[in-house]
Chain A
């Protein structure tokens, strides 16, 4: 199972919207609506931001939203803020003997 493909970096000015893509295959993102997104601040553990493509856990800002089209999922941060600077990882359920695959990660700079 190969890692999902994400851009290495995305940047934006405060208040702008930015979008991070996550490209997989017909075996993972293309088949399952089970994409999740994680934010990792420097030196900290990852934190769940989006699950099942579009759902937000309690406590996560509504500035974060998710979507999917075909084999590509996306995370959009609306009105990006300095506190959103972090690494972001997508993850998809893929079934089979190795059921999860993570993305390559994207560094967001504000």
Chain B
């Protein structure tokens, strides 16, 4: 059974930083592609970032230059380093896994809430 478990969310001041983690089991982070997708309170889904099995990374324009996606293959864990946070970054952040041979988001974690507020 595939499990993606996010952690690291919380209350962060504007301009601050936080690192989200996503521990995977039953799914190999390094062999597939991993994304972060967020959902602001009461709003829709927004794709945030992606790392392919080969290591290439991609970002939504709204977070480019502020967020960094990475992974630790030995820990089978995905990360999202979030810097210079803004109120509009407040959302539940989902860790999402997709098979390297496909383009769909197969597995979703339960999400972690990041609240940016003073």
Contact = CB atoms under 8 A, between A and B. Distances in A.
Interface in A32-86: 32, 34, 36, 38, 40, 45-48, 51-52, 57
Size class of the contact patch on chain B = 20 to 34
A3 interface: yes
A40 B59 CA distance: 24
Interface string A82-96: 000000010101000
Interface stretch (B10-18, B71-79, B83-91, B97-105): B97-105
16 contacts: A1-B60, A3-B44, A34-B103, A36-B104, A36-B105, A45-B110, A45-B111, A46-B108, A48-B105, A48-B106, A51-B103, A91-B45, A98-B58, A99-B50, A100-B50, A104-B44
Interface of B: 35, 37, 44-47, 50, 58-61, 94, 102-106, 108-111
